[in-house]
Structure 1
Amino acid sequence: MIYVLLTYLLAPWWWLAKRLRRRDRIERILLVQTAKIGDMLCATPVILALRQHYPDAQLTVLHAPVTGKIIAGLNEVDHCIAIRSDSWRGWGGKWRLARLIAAGRYDLAVNLSPSLPLLCGLIWAGVPRTLSIMPTRVGRTLAALRCCIDSTEQHRPGELVLATKQRLLQQQGIAMGLRKKMAIAASGEAVCDRLEITRDNTAIGLAISSANKLKELGEDLLSALVARLLQDYPGQVVLIGGPEDGPSAGVVVGRVQGGERVINAAGAFQLDELPALMQRLKLFIGVDSGLTYLADTFDVPMVVIVGPVDFREQRPLGPRVRFVSKQPSCYPCAFVFNAPYTCKTGDRACIRRVAVEDIMIATKEVLND
């Protein structure tokens, strides 16, 4: 609570700064989204809405370094500021964050990452108009800071987070759709060609991991699934992931017969090169991860293994999506604003109970639509 007390002690300063900087015309906007890939993709509808409502304003996005390639090439974004979450630790870090925000002289800030450091930074910076979503459960600290924000909108249990964002913007008369968008690098086509991924839309993409290991399928299930896909479908199976997923992909390739039709693409693509791959796929299979939302951005037919996630809150919204969900008594335990990284029961039943046949049934349903 020390930072709340400090915020209140500084109130005369930041309140005066807000009043002196306030002007009728919105010329500079800051959007704050410092979460990972999937959350940034789900923030792009907000970017599109702000650009449409304020066509002449400069729009800056404060983001985590990993998401830079999603937004850096968007015409709707004028400036990007990459920031690491460990940079705002302690009093000094939060003060530097506030100075960084204040230096932009923004007229409007829209915060999609409702954490103590970011709220303090926005308040201390004296941004004239601040909007922020609030988590499903607001503790005492955030509740005390909430009254220092001009407009807030709290997420409701079981509600699509995009709907929360829509309500926040509607307070300012800003209409928001659900369409996502990301930057596309032309070099992605060359990577696809180098890997000899066919252009006939017969390949099936399979995400082999997740940043949150609680959600990942594991090498045994992946190997069995690849073997079944090779048996039932004549096209390629493309294993998709980052450089750190290379060893697991290698294990899977080594376990299956017909490995010449399995392409290990782990680490082969930069983030903004992946759209070229997605547009060559017949189907994408994955868990709740950034790759899944990237595929959804391009309306790729997909099967999503839900795992521990409450997919009422955030999920792919494309026209051809099937969900595979095993729901033990502890389900759901992972939420947008409260995401555990270890299994409370120790058995990951929501993943362990998923069978290859469950995924194949969903696959056939999607492809027969």
Structure 2
Amino acid sequence: MMMKLKISVITLMLASTFLQTEGFTATTPTTSASKTASTSDQTTTPALHDFDYTTQNKIPWLASGYNTWKWNDHSINYVEMGDKSKPAILLIHGFGASAYHYRYNIPDLARDYHVYAFDMLGFGLSSKPITDYSAEVWRDQTVDFIEEVIGKTTTVVGNSLGGFTALYAASSSAQSEKSLINGCVLLNAAGRFKNPDAPPEKEPNAIIDAIATLIKRAVIQLSFIYTKQPARIEQVLRQVYPINANNVDEELVESIRYPSLDPNAAEVFYRVITKNGSGPQVYVDDLLQDLNGIPLMLCWGENDPWIRPAAADKIQALYPSSLRVSIDAGHCPHDEAPEDVNLAVRNFMSQLGN
């Protein structure tokens, strides 16, 4: 019992630390250099095709997936709903989750917008290659998806790790000749801020680092095996849904458990947690500076046990034109209080002229 408790605590600490201090190293993904993105390869699941988003309040969980986009020789699962002539919204999930985490947001927003949500590489029902996972990988996936699948100006919305990804994509898009991102919404976004008082990093010791890596790998993978059990998933979810845990149901738990059965899932978990790769750190400060005036809204669960409201305060200080909507929820306000988040997104879209 004591060992189980220690593993559970370690896993929660890993997740919490990962989300609070996430300052990804920027690396180039070790995938095929030639980009393959053919809409002709997309497949639509009949169950979703028949879904009536005007009357049903959430999308179904489908282990078979929804639509498929081929990207860098990998399969990316995504949901698409709404009138193609309407303004586009792309929803990006957080660490360990998937597009399904926006189950209550997609059909409601699809009444007025063309809504997309994908599974990031390594998560959900998307491919889980053994590669270096970094913010740059998911940023590129986001930008390429907008260019090659959506094909028009898009508002990006991201939660947690997906919030950092959305911000990174918006920042990069703002620096390009033709920006396809016209607005960004952060839902309790992860990300690291610069610390001018931080001591310089020590020179690495190859032997010590190798031993530490072996120990770290064993601990993280052991915790992964333990926490992919449904009861443990539900336990963690309830901790980050502190106000209303009613939406922590079997479908949500299964949408997290099922992808963990992939043979590569444990290794991907380790690589993401340890930010496998090398390169310069990516800081929220720099991304905000490069937004070039792109409208930004913080839709923040004020009772988040992992990413405190102080993070939103810091973003507002660095980007004074940003809007702030406080939600009475935890780390996942879009699923804990979907009506409030959907209303905030609608108001933001209206301010963008959509």
TM-score under structure 1 normalisation? 0.28
Which has the higher Rg, Structure 1 or Structure 2?
A: 1
Q: Which has the higher contact order (CA 8 A, sep 6+)?
A: 2
TM-score under structure 2 normalisation? 0.29
